[in-house]
Structure 1
Amino acid sequence: MTETYDPRRTAVLLVDPYNDFLSEGGKVWPHLELIAKEVGLLDHLRSVVTCARESGVRVVFVPHRRWEPGDYETWDHPSPTQRKIQERHNFARGTWGGQFHPDFQPQAGDVVAQEHWGQSGFANTDLDLQLKQHGITHVVVVGLLANTCIESTGRFAMELGYHVTLVRDATAAFLPEEMHASHELNGPTYAHAIVTTDDLTTAFTGAQA
């Protein structure tokens, strides 16, 4: 790995770390559990976030819209994913499933961006503004799901001029084919680096030194 990360210019974008995604009993967890356990998702997310904070890399929470009664009901054309949320009430506001996983709670110095309605953490939120105001040029996109919010947020970041890093084992999807597409087919068209958690934490620690 040849990428270097200036802690003052780098942020980890932690996308959608909700109980519904990451916790036993979460509404979406059963659909991604197999791949999440195969790649060691939770341990790798913990490693990325912990190492980032220890190295002075800013952690930015990039949360999906928490479902509320009435969401999407009057919309002209909600997306297929939004229709599923409307039906299943994923990430419902005020519920356990709509809370961040207990291991991923905002701490002093972290940023919590506005909630995104679709798949990109940038569209219709303050994420770009927050990153620019904190001097960020490099973003590391981790969390869920690899082929939806991670890919959309990473692509949007590239279009806005950020250096984008994906982390193969700090994300998951419902199907192996989706993971393959995210990292072998689509990722190389927009990401500047596609690494493992070990690669990334080594680079963060080296930058700290």
Structure 2
Amino acid sequence: MTYPRESTGLLLVDPYNDFLSEGGKLHGLAKPVADAVGTLDNLRKVVAAARKAGIQLFYVPHHRARPDDLKSWKYPSPYQIGAARAQVFAAGTWGGEWHPDFQPQAGDVLVHEHWGGSGFANTDLDYQLKQHGVQQVILVGMLANTCIESTGRFAAELGYHVTLVRDATAAFSPEAMHAAHELNGPTYAHAILTTEDVLTAIGP
């Protein structure tokens, strides 16, 4: 695989403290898989390599919860109900802040927050990618079988070349990781790589 700087975007999905930092509301659920595959260190490596290569970085954040978000909604999903109940990534809290190692830098694009699983649905992600000339997207972040998969599927539907990085993400169980990369990923992703594969492909 080749990833031209001019037409490639790195999509960093939900790099929140609640997912990635000790004490985060969802960290304990993701920790066994994340530790097994080296998620945090691999995220650091991919993000650093992308920056060095001049690849545009897009932050693709989940909605930061507020207490009355779903008060008058007709059809919130089970996923949304659970997140609202737990106030995951709550606005104005430490859990809803970026992990210290993934603070946005000048030139990074912060996409509008997504309400469900897909970073494209009801956001400006597609518009931002097109404005930056991006045709190939590399997805990293959390979680493999929810927001990464939903965003990757949507990207493929819109005509982007989609790359998943199997060890720069995590899930709440090994079964969910297996489903994301061995069962579902091959139905839409053009490439499913390891971090080392990506570093080789985008490095000097």
TM-score after normalising by structure 1: 0.97
Match runs of 1:65-104 below 5 Å: 65-104=63-102
Picking from 22, 27, 30, the partner of 2:28 is 30
Tell me, in whole angstroms, the C-alpha distance in 1 between the residues paired with 2:46 and 2:9: 11
SS at match of 1:153: helix
1:172 equivalent in structure 2: 170
CA drift of 1:69 comes to: 2.1
Q: Which amino acid aligns with 2:137?
A: V
Tell me, in whole angstroms, the C-alpha distance in 2 between the residues paired with 1:144 and 1:107: 20
CA drift of 1:109 comes to: 1.4
Tell me, in whole angstroms, the C-alpha distance in 2 between the residues paired with 1:64 and 1:86: 12
1:52 equivalent in structure 2: 50
Picking from 151, 154, 158, the partner of 1:153 is 151
Match runs of 1:111-150 below 5 Å: 111-150=109-148
Give the gaps of 5 or more residues in structure 1.
Answer: none
TM-score after normalising by structure 2: 0.99
The C-alpha deviation readout for 1:174-194, integer Å capped at 9, x for no partner, is 011100010000000000000
The C-alpha deviation readout for 1:37-56, integer Å capped at 9, x for no partner, is 00000000000000000001
Tell me, in whole angstroms, the C-alpha distance in 1 between the residues paired with 2:189 and 2:38: 22
Identity %: 65
Q: Which amino acid aligns with 2:91?
A: R
SS at match of 2:73: coil
Tell me, in whole angstroms, the C-alpha distance in 2 between the residues paired with 1:90 and 1:113: 19
1:201 equivalent in structure 2: 199
4+ residue stretches of structure 1 with deviation over 2 A?
none
